Structure 1
């Protein structure tokens, strides 16, 4: 199939484009770089991101490979499924990530999870976040757990799982939260924010987490052919 519109792939208008743009930005790639990887034209990547489009399955496969994801992810087929719903890889490889790698994967914004302990009970809640000045900042309602836990340690986690190929990664940050009260700092974070706070609240306050420990892990799939090539190159 060509890159032009094709019938039979009923996607919601613009949904694939939004996922392509988000994944491209997550990887830090330009449209030109994605087009080169996918064997396409930058203009078509722009069209796909900005206009309702239903590309053929052949191009979707190349695009998913270029964006290091899966067609199911681009089509939103895993939207309502918990992470890790697919079949695990037969021979997974677990590697520790450096702090620099963790920083790249964390990106500049996204959705993560905050874990706190209050009254001897653990609690986890999703939050939208931005990275600014070496800190992770997120907004919560005044009575939410992360907003009421300054002084103690807090854990923040973000991850990505590709159920189709059994690959994924996770980054864990531990630190001490502090409320952001400086008016200029609040305005600066508001300008950087890509999403409204979860849940949306007029009284939502910014909380900044200064990392004291950053760790990450990547789960990959053992590739016999790649292993042989690497051994030959080292010989």
Structure 2
């Protein structure tokens, strides 16, 4: 469908055509990138990227997928949906890799403004890890919970909160770990602000009226990166 602008020109409405197109649009929107920005990063024409986003029949080659994944700071499997049912980490380890620490600023950048993270809390049933939809507002991690549920048991306790990303194609990934105390948002103005800033309602649905905030007193991160072969002087290990 096309929209007519005030100047009389025709502006094409972005309408993702297939699963790949939807993932491309969603990811570049998360990064605040326009189609032109993404095409420039990936070294491809804007018209070709439009085709990939809007055609349900688009089947790009591996080279194009790798460039798009790099441009969108994600993995090929995330773009193609190859990780939707299988557990992550099924590929072999890269031959040349290193584990590096992420700076505080980089950790916060990876956390972003919203996403799905894992809450680790000790409940009446023992240590528990739960996925939750979270929002970051003024440096504080916040998520919704229903009274009497495991996430609500985090209130008043020291918890851990983790987000990560696995790149199957490169046998790498990163993780960010936040430790802090969980508290309930009680001020009406705070609750209203969190509700307004929330990117999405909880994916699991249902009524979740409590806002749980995690005030970070420690944040660390690590990333597995591949080392260029010419920089790795260690000989391969013998089996």
Among candidates 66, 70, 73, match of residue 71 of structure 2 = 66
Cα pair distance change 1:65/1:211, threshold 3 Å: closer
User: How does the TM-score come out when normalised to structure 2?
Assistant: 0.80
**After the TM superposition, which of the residue ranges 17-26 and 73-82 deviates more from structure 2?**
17-26
Give, in whole Å, the separation in 2 of the partners of 1:199 and 1:70. Answer: 25
Give, in whole Å, the separation in 1 of the partners of 2:143 and 2:127. Answer: 19
The question of 1:57 aligning with 2:60 is answered yes
- CA distances 1:80-138 after superposition (whole Å, capped 9, x unpaired): 12221222222320001111000111111100000001237100110001110110001
Match of 1:132? Answer: 137
Instruction: Tell me which protein shows more helix as a share of its residues.
Output: 1
Give, in whole Å, the separation in 2 of the partners of 1:45 and 1:196. Answer: 30
Contact 2:178-2:218 within 8 A present in 1 as well: yes
Match of 2:199? Answer: 194
Contact 1:140-1:199 within 8 A present in 2 as well: no
**After the TM superposition, which of the residue ranges 13-22 and 144-153 deviates more from structure 2?**
13-22
Structure 1's unaligned 5+ residue stretches are 1-11, 229-235
The question of 1:20 aligning with 2:24 is answered yes
User: How does the TM-score come out when normalised to structure 1?
Assistant: 0.81
**After the TM superposition, which of the residue ranges 192-201 and 25-34 deviates more from structure 2?**
25-34
**After the TM superposition, which of the residue ranges 112-121 and 30-39 deviates more from structure 2?**
30-39
* Secondary structure of residue in 2 paired with 1:57: coil
Contact 2:101-2:222 within 8 A present in 1 as well: yes
Contact 1:114-1:125 within 8 A present in 2 as well: yes
* Secondary structure of residue in 2 paired with 1:189: helix
Cα pair distance change 1:183/1:195, threshold 3 Å: same
**After the TM superposition, which of the residue ranges 108-117 and 59-68 deviates more from structure 2?**
59-68
Structure 2's unaligned 5+ residue stretches are 1-15, 233-239
Match of 2:170? Answer: 165
* Secondary structure of residue in 2 paired with 1:86: coil
Give, in whole Å, the separation in 1 of the partners of 2:146 and 2:69. Answer: 37
Cα pair distance change 1:198/1:124, threshold 3 Å: farther
Contact 1:175-1:209 within 8 A present in 2 as well: yes
Give, in whole Å, the separation in 2 of the partners of 1:71 and 1:120. Answer: 38
**After the TM superposition, which of the residue ranges 118-127 and 159-168 deviates more from structure 2?**
118-127
Match of 2:41? Answer: 37
Contact 1:153-1:174 within 8 A present in 2 as well: yes
The question of 1:83 aligning with 2:73 is answered no
Give, in whole Å, the separation in 1 of the partners of 2:84 and 2:205. Answer: 20
